[in-house]
Amino acid sequence: MEAFDPNLCRTERDVESKLLVHYLLPQLGYGVDSWYEEVALGSIRLDFLVLATSLLAGRLAPPAAVVMEAKRPQSNLDPHVPKLRRYLTALGIRYGLLTNAWEIRVYETQSPQAIAEVFRCGGQHLHTHLEDLRQLIGKSSPNLGLPIPVVPSPRRIPMKTIAVYHNKGGVGKTTTVTNLGAALARQGFRVLLIDLDSQANTTFATGLMKFADEEDDILANNNVYHAIAEKFQFQIAEVARRASYCAAPVDVMPAHINLIQQERILQDKSFAKTRLLEKLNKAKDSYDFVIIDCPPSLNLYAQVALTMTDYLIIPSDLKPFANEGLRNVRNFIDENDEFRGVIQRPPISVLGVLPSKIMTNAKFVENTLPRVEEKVRSKYGFPMLESRIFDRVDLGKCLNVENNEGEVPVPDPQSIFDFAPDSAAAKEFGALAAEILQKVGAMP
């Protein structure tokens, strides 16, 4: 077989056409009717989806398929591995190929959350490894039809709803919601995030806002407002969307900036505080954990959240304004507990104040932080969670990841577990998840 010359590829498009289309795919047995280019599957956009079997019943991505991603010649492939992992695990596809013409790698899905490299060779030596690739991902390979290993899930538990609330903004509510949700999903729990904040930060942070302008806005006519406003339509399953920010499956009920204006419509409606609770109860067998991102206010949407929740986490940077705001939080809880009594719901169980966005200065952590935490307990009457979330660079970076492969950069945020799984921040959120499981009685 004639060798492939990676010097022929000067652009990413060359890698796609000269390496994949004209050289590799035919050698693996895939004809022109076997592969699709620039495939969009929800929020996922693939360079190539290669099918080892014909389309069945209109299903676009059967397990007997290979995802192929082409990058610029000689570019570093390592930063693209997490994205490939998300593609494979989200779509349930066993194999993915990643190449920059000078290097060809194949990754295999090892579990619903993990992939591993199973093949690598240089582009100039590709012709000597074609038989290995045929055995691995060729059209006639028996490997493609093998099921993806299933990691045993924790025991199913009665659905537990957790609101994340503080009436001061900028204290880490969205960071807590998204990464706590990812941590629980990684352990096999079925997780739903509900965004009740008109700033829609959780909606953005979970990868649901990939449109460039309002004409492409797919959320305006199907979001959490509609679930509150409509009695029969817009049930949980109709509004919730699968997030793309982490490898483990997480569903999200999105918010929208229109929530601000739409609050006026709901303000005097008797059903406004309880309708989402009613719909959530109908979906109680679909989720183990529901985590709500609340607005930093005392408005109707915050009342909806505190009406429907079982538990409350109060993230706080423990600075003076945030601490003073705890008085308002206490009063707001008391007001909502009074309403909960009317509808025969027990008082909210406050899990505690979560130190969040805390500076990492060693003297502050050792001397000042314990005193501030004790002050919160004694002065404001709230328990403190033992977990602490520090102000880490990785937490900011993971929300600002972009896909720069098209003409216009597209937001592609990731959970801390997908962006930096070995980081201190990932360990902190792992510890938080463990503490929450213990406090709500969900530990095995």
114 and 164 share one domain: no
The pLDDT score that the predictor gives to residue 365 is 94
Q: What is the tens place of the pLDDT at every residue in 224-259?
A: 999 999 999 999 999 999 998 988 889 999 999 999
Could you identify the residue written with the tokens 């409509």? 230
104 and 43 share one domain: yes
Strand partners, 117: 107
Query: E-strand spans in 157-299?
Result: 160-164, 191-195, 241-242, 250-253, 289-293
pLDDT at 444 over 80: no
140 and 183 share one domain: no
267 and 381 share one domain: yes
Q: How many domains does the chain contain in total?
A: 2
Q: Taking the model in full, what pTM does it have? A: 0.72
17 and 141 share one domain: yes
Question: Are the C-beta atoms of residues 98 and 69 closer than 8 Å to each other?
Answer: yes
- 150 within domain boundaries: no
191 and 81 share one domain: no
The CATH number given to whatever domain includes residue 383 is 3.40.50.300
Report the Cα–Cα distance between both ends of the chain, in Å, rounded. Answer: 56
189 and 313 share one domain: yes
130 and 197 share one domain: no
CA–CA distance, 285 with 368 (Å, rounded to integer): 44
The CATH number given to whatever domain includes residue 53 is 3.90.1570.30
- 444 within domain boundaries: no
Q: What is the tens place of the pLDDT at every residue in 295-348?
A: 999 999 999 999 999 999 999 999 999 998 999 999 999 999 999 999 999 999
Q: Which residue range(s) make up the domain with 40?
A: 6-145
Q: Name the most confidently modeled range: 76-80, 216-220, 257-261, 430-434.
A: 430-434
pLDDT at 55 over 50: no
279 and 396 share one domain: yes
Mean pLDDT (whole number) for 364-390: 94
The pLDDT score that the predictor gives to residue 53 is 66
Dihedral pair phi/psi, residue 37, rounded to 5°: -105, 140
74 and 123 share one domain: yes
Which of 81-90, 329-338, 378-387 is predicted least confidently?
A: 81-90
